[in-house]
Structure 1
Amino acid sequence: MSHNEQVTTYYLEMTAPDQLCGKPKPEGLDVTEAELKEFRFNRYLYQLVGEPWQWTDKLTLSDTEWQSYAERDELRTWVAYHRGAIAGYYELEHQTGGDVEIAYFGLAPKFVGMGFGGYLLTHALQSAWGWGDTRRVWVHTCTQDHPGALNNYRARGMNVYRTEQE
């Protein structure tokens, strides 16, 4: 990315579960919660999925910092598998006031463009609404992310409530 290129960050939200426009489950894609928390797994998923999009904010964290991030009760992780390979993942973070953030979401490089993103996001939103007293689900994405990300969030029923220019 050139230095003069502006980055736009989009914040999206869903305020009721009936706003979800779900996508059906593709054949051979299974999504499982990693119920036994292991920070090394979260770090691996972060690197696997984030590398093409320059996710760097957590690369410098120590093991201790990763552990306190990933092994909290407020964070849950789901992994999508296709034929035994990791196709993608998402993390949900339960925040105060009934907010759930889709903290990280994405597909592994080999699985981008196969039509898995719509279902994985549907799954993430359903999981978020099913977690306790959820009143709002939100996420942010930016113009450095996959070009289809914003459209996927919108297509599932999320609405942009704020944009920021960097």
Structure 2
Amino acid sequence: MLTQNTTYYLEMCDPTALRPVAAPAGFRVVRAELPCPELNRFLYTAVGGNWYWLDRLGWNYARWQAYLERPELETWVGYVAGTPAGYVELEWQARAMVEIAYFGLLPAFIGRRLGGALLTAALERAWAMGAERIWVHTCSLDGPAALANYQARGMRIFKTEAASIELPDQPPGPWPGA
């Protein structure tokens, strides 16, 4: 199906712009310090399955491993009662920039006020990494609260692009191919 997609590029260039949200009781964010393709692929498909995250579905184990072993990449996982609720990938880039490469919650945890807390933790970590600029892109195909969450934490749109893209009739869901 051909659909119109709008991509929003957001940034934060000053740590004082951050409008943090306190983590709800029982929510904690932990770094996945060991590269683990199974974990990241699970998070990628579980979070992005309903939002047409398609670009990594064809990656094999070796490609996931090579991606995750890069020292400029960090994966952080949000947990509720020991259960993964969401994740964020932070990627250090040239000129003291950190990209929020992937961010989101598993479907069962959407609407429980965890997205703001996870994004707060991600932004705080990016500043602690030495970032002078943090950026992310989201689009009209992502979760309906994504753009508002980024803006509520203090990120500002610096570019918008619209394009027609070809997509499957339905998103792949959390178990693509099953």
Secondary structure of residue in 2 paired with 1:97:
coil
Gaps of 5+ in 1: none
1:117 to 115, 118, 121: 115
- Corresponding residue for residue 13 of structure 2: 15
**Cα distance in 2 for residues equivalent to 1:128 and 1:116:** 18
Match of 2:143 among 143, 146, 151: 146
The equivalent of 1:63 in structure 2 is: 61
Name the one with the larger helix percent. Answer: 1
RMSD: 0.9
Q: Structure 1 segments of 4 or more deviating over 2 A?
A: none
> 2:11, 2:158 within 8 Å by CA — same for their partners in 1?
yes
Partners of 2:120 and 2:65 in 1: how far apart?
Answer: 28
- Structural mapping, 1:54-133, within 5 Å: 54-131=52-129, 133=130
TM-score by length of 2: 0.89
Gaps of at least 5 residues in structure 2 are 164-178
Paired-residue identity, %? 51
- Measure, in 2, the Cα distance between the counterparts of 1:65 and 1:84: 28
Give the residue type in structure 2 aligned to 1:32: V
Q: Aligned letter for 2:135?
A: W
Secondary structure, counterpart of 2:95 in structure 1: helix
- What's the CA shift for 1:155? 0.4
Compute the displacement of 1:30 (Å): 0.9
> Is contact 2:35-2:65 (8 Å) kept?
no
Aligned length: 163
TM-aligned CA deviation for residue 39 of structure 1: 2.0
Q: Give the conservation status (yes or no) of the 8 Å contact 1:39–1:71.
A: no
1:64-115: CA deviation from partner (whole Å, max 9, x where unpaired)? 1111111210100000110121100000000011010000000011000001
Instruction: Please list the CA deviations of residues 133-157 of structure 1 after superposition, one character each: whole Å capped at 9, or x if unmatched.
Output: 3110000000000111000000000
